[in-house]
Structures are given as structure tokens and as C-alpha cells.
Amino acid sequence: MTVIGDEAASTATTHGAAAHDGAALGDGTAPPHRLEAPVESVDVLLVEDDPGDALLAEELLADTPLTTRITWVPTLADARAPLKDFRGCVLLDLNLPDAQGLDLLREVLQSAPSAAVVVLTGLDDEHEGVAAVAAGAQDYLVKGQVDGSLLGRSLRYSLERRRADENARQLHEARMRARENTRLERGLLPQVLLQSSPLSHRAYYRPGRKRAVVGGDFYDAVEKNGTTHVIIGDVSGHGPDEAALGVSLRIAWRTLVMAGVAEERVLPNLEEILVSERAQEEMYATLCMASLDTGTDRVRVRVLGHPPPLVVQDGSVVETQASPQPPLGVFPVEQADVDEVVLPVGASMLFYTDGLVDAYDGGPPARLEVAGLRRMISGVLDQGVPLNLLPEHVVDEAERSNGGPLQDDVAMLLITHGADGAAE
């Protein structure tokens, strides 16, 4: 038993069946209990101010099939250091010189949230033991009514109950995260409003390797007063703050467009919203916005730090030439530069987030980048894949090239000019 305190002797002993096995009988044979089944190893922190009771607990544990490593401390002050990151079983006397009762228990539970706590009570304090279990202890034992068998069972039960509680807690948190991620993704990936638009669409989204952490990829498309507007974007980083900001930007963009805000003022207004809503000053968003007036084939494209869209027509894949501009939230956006791209009837424009071009081109260290993506799309089309299935086939190819799931989420929006396009 390791003793910590003012009268401490720094000795460590392993107790239980292994300790008893070291004492052979007079004729050199082992004691009968060597034939017992393999024992479980348990770390025990004994918080007990009475040396006699501490010694008794040690002896009782020595008579169990458990292999125990006991550390004894006589006060709460001495227990604080070993309690940090402790994952074994705490045997706790509720009446110490420097702390008593449920306040003592609560501090122990808070200091060692992964530990199982078994409370030791006196004969007159059994009701306190019941209250301790209600407050978070796994079990309680009454001093003077405990033998080795009961103590061993209590320790095992308490550890298993603590593990079960921890598993249940982790499962609950995982389900809560999954539900929250689903809500965030629903806000990031909406139903587009293109009923009166000459453009049809196919939207696609695939989560990356970090599935437990939702990303900030978003897209939307809206037709308003004879003009179809499309946006795709990606908030820097991963997590709920980034996803929430992505939802805010998408909804704000749709609101600005539906409210009839002048096209050239949409992104400056969106930048103001990003600055006011972001959780950290370093957060920014890359995005691409495109606008097409009904009856024309000229698409106005604005790109802010985002991969440019690709034009797909008759098996050819062409990268649009966009003026380089910094991401949204890095510098104030007065009026984003506009580039015009011809999108004939029957042609398609593919918008995507950078999780796609960040894939490895046949393995590290080279990245796919836009040039590699163009080659990949051409190869998929050469296989005779229908246009409306292009997004998922391209991501499949990117994952094969990457050697496994992509690190980042991928959002894609395939917009086709004409009634015979890739409808969702």
C-alpha cells in the first residue's frame, strides 16, 4: 500500500491473489487459492483518516480475487493530486479531518469524473450512504459490516457501473452531436428555388473523414425577377461554430436575393453579416456567386478565394477564368469584380467546394487541384456516365485517387442551362 501524508512511508505493494501467492507452504507447495481464475487488476485510492480502518481495508482486499494497487491518503488535501485523471475506484470515508459529508463527495466526483466512488460510512450514518449514492457515488459500505467478498464485489460492481454510465453518456453525446449535425446540414444544404428558372440543378453532398465534426460547406440557388442566382461557399475550419456561420451566411444570402437587393451589393452586405456573426476574428469564408438573366447565355461570376466553377459541354471540361479576390471576411468587400462566362443552352456549370480539389492526385504529396479535377471529370464522362450522376462518380474517383475518404466535406451543385438538363 502506498501511503501519502505527513506520516507517509513511500512504499508500494500489490495486493490480492498475487500477493498471497508469494507465501509458499512449509513443504514448498503453493496455497490452494493459486488455482483460482485469473484476477482483475484494480487501482484503489483509499481516502481514510483512521490508520486502523485503512489497514483493515487493505487486509480485506488481500482476501479477494482482485489484484489491487492501493494508495492510501488520510485527508482530502492529500487526495487532490492522485485524484487528478484517476480512473480506478475511490474508497471514500465521508468524515475526514478537512472535509465531511456530501460536499466532500462532490469535490471527489468533480476531481475524478472517470473514477468509481464507493463511500465508507459508520453504523450511525447509513442514511448518509444512501444520500451519497443519490449524489453520484456508485455504492456505499457500512464499516464493521464488510468482509473481503462483499468489498471485492462492491468494487467490481462499482467499476462496471461507472463504465456503463460512461458508455451511456458517450452514446447520448454522440446522438446529440449527430442530431445537431443533421440540423446544421439541413440549414447548409437547402431546397433550391428554381421553379421559374431556365436552369435545372443536381445537388450533391458527401461528408469527409471527420464525420463527427460537421463542416461549413453550403450552397443555394434562387430565381428572382427573371434572374437566377447561385452560390456555393465554405467557412474555414470544422465544428459547430463554423457550421452555424455557414447556415447564417446561406440564409442571409437567400434573404438578400429574395428581398431584391442589387446584385452588386449582395456580397458586401454578406461580408458585414459574416463579420458580425463569426465566433472568432480569424474566421472567413470562400465562396462563388453566379447570376444568369433569363433569355441570355452570359453568366456573371464572382469568386472570393474559392475554386472557380467548371463548364461542362459535349464531353469537354473548361475552367472558368475568374479574377482572383480574397475570401469573404479578410478584407472589406466594396464591390466584387465580375467575370462573364458563356453558358450555352445544353451546357452545365459545376460548382464545388475545395474538399474535392484538396484530394491527393494518386497519393501524397501532390494535390488534385483544379487541373487534376478537369482530367478526372473528363475521364468519368468518357466512361459514359450520365450527366445527372456526374457528382457522385467524380467524388468516387477522387476518393480512389486519394487512397480513401476525403479529409474534408464536399458540396457540389451542377447547374444545367436548358429544360433537358440534370434535374434533381
Q: What is the pLDDT of residue 213?
A: 53
3-state secondary structure 94-147: CEECCEEHHHHHHHHHHHCCCCEEEEEECHHHHHHHHHHHHHCCCEEEECCCCC
Q: Decide: residue 227, CB within 10 A, 0-12 exposed, 13-18 middle, 19+ buried.
A: middle
Query: What pLDDT was estimated at residue 181?
Result: 60
Ramachandran quadrant class, 63 (left: phi over 0; alpha: psi -120 to 50; beta: rest): alpha
**Topology of the domain comprising 189-417:** Phosphatase 2c; domain 1 (3.60.40)
Do domains 2-168 and 189-417 share one topology? The answer is: no
Q: What is the reported pLDDT for 424? A: 42
What is the predicted pLDDT for the residue at 1?
52
So what's the pLDDT on residue 214?
62
Query: Within the chain, which residues score under 70 in pLDDT?
Result: 1-40, 123-124, 174, 176-188, 210-214, 336, 419-424
How would you class 179 by CB atoms within 10 Å of its CB: exposed for 0-12, middle for 13-18, buried for 19 or more?
exposed
Q: Check if CATH label 3.30.70.1560 holds for domain 2-168.
A: no
5 three-state secondary structure: coil
Q: Compute CA 40 distance to the chain's CA centroid, rounded to the nearest angstrom.
A: 33
Q: What is the pTM of this model?
A: 0.60
pLDDT at 364: 84
Q: What does the domain layout of the chain look like in residue ranges? A: 2-168, 189-417
Q: What is the Cα–Cα distance from 13 to 6, expressed in whole angstroms?
A: 19
Instruction: Write the DSSP assignment of 328-341 as a string of letters.
Output: BTTB--SS---EEE
Interior CA angle at 338 toward 332 and 340, to 5°? 165
> What is the per-residue pLDDT across 80-135, written as a single tens digit (0 to 9) for each?
999 998 988 999 998 899 998 899 999 999 998 889 999 888 766 778 878 888 88
Q: Which of 400, 394, 396 is nearest to 380 (CA)?
A: 394
Of the candidates 174, 128, 155, 134, which has an alpha carbon nearest to the alpha carbon of residue 64?
155
